[in-house]
Amino acid sequence: MRSTRARKIHGAHCSIRFAVEGGVPEQRKIFYTGVYHSFLSPTVFSDEDGQYIGFDGKVHSVAGTQKAQYANFSDWDTYRNTVQLQSLFEPERESDVMQSLVNDAEQSGWLPKWEAANDVTYVMGGDSPAVLPSEAYAFGARNFDTKKALAFMVKGGTEPGNGPHGGEEREFLADYLKLGYTPIDKDRRSASQTLEYASDDFAVAQLAKALGQEHVYQRFLKQSSNWRNLLDPETHFIRPRKSDGSWQAGFDPENSLPHIVQPWGVSEQIGFEEGNTYQYSFMVPFDYPALFEAMGGEKAVEQRLDHFFEGLRCWGKPCFNIENEPDFVTPYAYVFLGKPWKTQEVVTRIAKETFKTTPDGIPGNDDLGATSGVYVWNALGLYPAVPGIGGVVLGTPMFDKATLKLSGERTLVISREGQGIYVQRATLNGKPFASTWLPLSAIHQGANELHFTMGTQANTDRGTKMGDRPPNFR
């Protein structure tokens, strides 16, 4: 059964179109629902006259080209895939969203960490608001005060200090800057926190590079390597360390030990927020070649990934968890490893086994569109794997044809022919495309087509050469 459904999302300042053909009704329903969820937040906070109450409790008005002030940022979740989708399709609105963060920082002194209305909640670890402007810029939303945004991003990553309610944008920053990690004897989520900070640093570095601030770029690029300080040479996993440099005792990756059950019922390995070392150790997509080497080489990494994907919804166990954001990118580690057909298998399983068209059809909390975004991107055969980088990793397209009306009078058609889930070859605008990485710069104004030839057997040659894998971003 073939069907074309166009979806046009109307907002205060936007009109976006997605149209897919083929698949089955359930797939289309989940896809379009996911698109809808991906654009629900942040939400407009200003009145029709542009006024809003700021973080300082005073009445402010949007100024310049900004049309509205936005609030309610689930930053720890949405930096994984949502801000990129919004920026790619409606950069004007997303520019207003980023300017809203800058306005909040000007009023409070710091970028707001998991902002709700005109206040900050400090939900989850890391410094995720610092990632958002970098990703928005990389995916096309650039009409905001980028220099001021970068200045606040740099402040959050270099200056320990307290913001609203005495909270910190980056907890234990002094230790992180001194030791290269946050220590487990001070920070209960030290290992996952360090990994988040490393990703944040990489994103800050990318915006600095784009704005020509070389010294900032070099400093934060160096800081983004801090994940190496927790890569245990004995187990080849990310492992918490203490202030004196010693490793967390009783560390057992296979059994997620030592562990604790939080009051809200989540079992987590000590040092890892709502997860374990298996679920966090691959959250370094900006430095996969170095990570693979540190983990014992590509063969060892492949075996570890194969074991990891034996399960798809796991709490307290060493397997993939579609319900938790740190795992969203991990299926694409196979692509960086030169095994893209294994990514194609895993993302197909995730779509079939964990998403449904029932009231409980989203696996876990949607987290303001972040979980829905997994389905949307995977179904298109793309994923924004690297924070702050304008490009996507190629997976396997679900639909016979997806027509995407992007910003800048660009249209991208993603089409497929043949049966099966395995990509045999691809073309971009009619020319052979051997790479498994698509930079956004390759999508030009006007019509573009990414075409896949599919098969029922894995093509174990395509994407294996180093030159055909995603680039090394170091």
* Res 264: pLDDT: 78
Are β-strands 431-432 and 422-428 bridged in parallel, bridged antiparallel, or unpaired? antiparallel
Is residue 337's pLDDT more than 50? yes
Average per-residue pLDDT for the chain: 95
* Res 10: pLDDT: 38
Domain 44-163 belongs in CATH node 1.10.357.10: no
Place of tokens 């245990």: 232
pLDDT tens digit sequence for 380-410: 999 999 999 999 999 999 999 999 999 999 9
How many angstroms separate the CA atoms of 131 and 115, rounded? 14
Q: How far apart are the first and last CA of the chain?
A: 46
Cβ pair 259, 268 in contact under 8 A: yes
* Res 266: pLDDT: 82
* Res 8: pLDDT: 45
Tell me the whole-structure pTM to 2 decimals: 0.95
- The single-letter code of the amino acid at 406 is L
Q: What is the fold of 1-39+285-474?
A: GH92 mannosidase fold (3.30.2080)
Residue 431, judged by CB atoms within 10 A of its CB (0-12, 13-18, 19+), counts as exposed
Is residue 14's pLDDT more than 70? no
Give the pLDDT band (50/70/90) at residue 262.
Answer: confident
Q: Where are the domains of the chain?
A: 1-39+285-474, 44-163, 171-281
In sequence order, the 6+-apart residues with CB closer than 8 A to the CB of 145 are 99, 102
Q: What is the mean pLDDT of residues 457-471?
A: 98
Q: Give kind and range of the element (H or E) at residue 267.
A: strand 267-269
Place of tokens 């900032």: 216
Is residue 321's pLDDT more than 60? yes
Is residue 263's pLDDT more than 50? yes
Give the pLDDT band (50/70/90) at residue 3.
Answer: very low
How many angstroms separate the CA atoms of 144 and 133, rounded? 9
- The class (CATH top level) of 171-281 is mainly alpha
How many angstroms separate the CA atoms of 388 and 207, rounded? 7
The string over 406-427, giving b where at least 16 C-beta atoms fall within 10 Å of a residue's C-beta and e elsewhere, is bbeebebebbbeeeebbbbebe
pLDDT tens digit sequence for 62-103: 999 999 999 999 999 999 999 999 999 999 999 999 999 999
Q: Say what percent of the chain tops pLDDT 70.
A: 97
Which has more confidence, 56 or 17?
A: 56
Give the pLDDT band (50/70/90) at residue 261.
Answer: confident
* Res 13: pLDDT: 41
Structure tokens at 151: 């200045």
pLDDT tens digit sequence for 423-436: 999 999 999 999 99
Give the pLDDT band (50/70/90) at residue 17.
Answer: confident
